Structure 1
Amino acid sequence: MQQPLQKYSLLLLCLAAGMVDVIGYLGLGHVLTANMTGNIVLLGIAIARAQEFVVLRSLIALAGFIAGNAIAARMIGINQTKNGWSPRVTRVFVVESILLLLFAIVMISPYSEQLAYLLIAVLAAAMGMQTTAARRIGIAGISTTVLTNNLAAVVEDAVSILQRLRHASLGSLMKALSNDSYLRVFAVIIYLIGVIVAALMFHNIPMVAVWIPVLVVGGVTLLALYRFNDQ
């Protein structure tokens, strides 16, 4: 039962990442704190247009994300375990949950505007840590913050189905598809759901929206502490 729970937990992390990107974009001056590909595009546009404040926000997000990557890599180390979701990985999610909690507290405080740059750095660091931890877990090649990789894998799976249709029925091919193929499709869909939910909530009830990623990642972390660390 442990492996399916790990897969569902990874999908929940995709949901949280989609929400975090929207919260950062709408609440912190149009900066992406989870999707660094998009953030680098925004950085390049800002440089071309000489938009100093946008450049600074994007650079802070990039630096925070890289710092989160480095911290998570140091915490996990290089040792591999049979269970990709090791106790060291779970400790990374504990720190990420704390960062998201701090972000939510400051975000709803009267000082959120004055501390906007700090909020960007904290949120990006949390997502950097999540990205590295998800990569080390290594389920279905899913990245919880980089939608491009997941989408490419889905397209490759679809092409494989079409190429084999000449020799088998569609029904048999769908049955032959691995669970990983379905998981990659769900990862894309759930990330999109996270984006839509966050956009709707942040527009109407922003003070509630910032707590959803905290609850999602915190819930996954608690589950991992009690269920995923026995190997």
Structure 2
Amino acid sequence: MTKSSPLPGLLLLLSATTGLVDAVSVLGLGKVFTANMTGNIVFLGFAAAGAPGFVIKPYLVALLTFLVGALVAGRIGGHLGQRPLRQWLLAAAGVEAALLGLAALCALTAAPWIDAIIALTALAMGFRNATIRMLKVPDLTTTVLTLTLTGIAADSPLAGGTGPNLPRRLAAVASIFAGAAAGALMVTHWGLALPLAVAAGIVLLGTMLCVTHPAAALVHNP
């Protein structure tokens, strides 16, 4: 992939959707993450110890469906990874947008199907994480920021480094922050369906714009 790769821009857009999805899951589904599994492992430990306010079921649903999504993405990536990048990205965007769209529909029912929304969004994020992992774009995982924040500090001039990829790292942090803030406003004022539908739209439209770039016609070689 050339230096003018469209991937960084797309992954920053996808990072914003992580904030939207986490706003739905944490604020609307009851203290469960569907984009970032570290929190679920911690919460599952709390639930196993009998801590008040934590129950095992939603964390298991999120973890298991996330793994299924990652497994399916691994299979698809293995099949499409040696084809033009645009085919891979469009297939991945189609799957993720469909899952998020179905989750939005589940949120529109008179009594939102909480377990279904957890499962569908975790499937989508598992699929996303595995796809991004195979694309191997530095400092843009789209769902977690721990290593990004570590890199900002550990590679800074104050630590004796040169601050490589600082703009990209800061943009990744800002994207997830902005998505979370926007998602929180949507959830608190308009419910769960809107941020899920917006996330699906961003995934699909952002990817369609990305694949118009000439570099998307090439096979991705990280």
Give 5+ residue unaligned stretches, structure 2: none
Query: For 1:155, which of 139, 150, 153 is the aligned residue?
Result: 153
Q: Structure 2 vs 1, CA of residues 81 and 188 (structure 1 numbering), >3 Å: closer, same or farther?
A: farther
- Cα shift at 1:157: 2.3
The CA distance in 2 between the partners of 1:215 and 1:124, in whole Å, is: 17
Whole-angstrom distance in 1 between the partners of 2:6 and 2:147:
22
Alpha-carbon offset, residue 86 of structure 1: 5.3
- Corresponding residue for residue 168 of structure 1: none
Distance in 2, matches of 1:87 and 1:230, equals: 8
> In 1, are the aligned partners of 2:6 and 2:216 still within 8 Å (CA)?
no
**Aligned equivalents of 1:223 and 1:63: distance in 2?**
32
Deviation (angstroms), 1:224: 3.6
Q: CA deviation at 1:132?
A: 1.2
TM-score (structure 2 length as normaliser): 0.85
Match of 1:193 in 2: 178
**Cα deviations by residue, 1:207-231 (Å, 9 ceiling, x for unpaired):** 4333221121121222244335311
Are the equivalent residues in 2 in contact too, given 1:65–1:127 (CA < 8 A)?
A: yes
Fraction of identical pairs, as percent: 31
Picking from 125, 128, 131, the partner of 1:127 is 125
Q: Which amino acid in the other structure matches residue 182 of structure 1?
A: P
The runs of at least 4 consecutive aligned structure 1 residues that moved more than 6 Å come to: 50-53
Moved more, 11-20 or 182-191: 182-191
Scaled by the length of structure 1, the TM-score of the pair is: 0.82
SS at match of 1:139: coil
Residue from 140, 145, 155 that aligns with 1:142: 140
Distance 2:28 2:183 in 1: 11
Contact 1:135 1:141 (C-alpha < 8 Å) held by counterparts: no
Q: Over the residues paired in the alignment, what is the CA RMSD in angstroms?
A: 2.6
Name the structure where helix makes up a greater proportion of residues: 1
Give the length in aligned residue pairs: 215
**Contact 2:58/2:118, CA 8 A, preserved across alignment:** yes
Structure 1: gaps of 5 or more residues: 166-172
From the CA coordinates, give the structure whose radius of gyration is larger: 1
- Give the alignment of 1:32-51 within 5 angstroms: 32-49=33-50
The amino acid of 1:66's aligned partner reads L
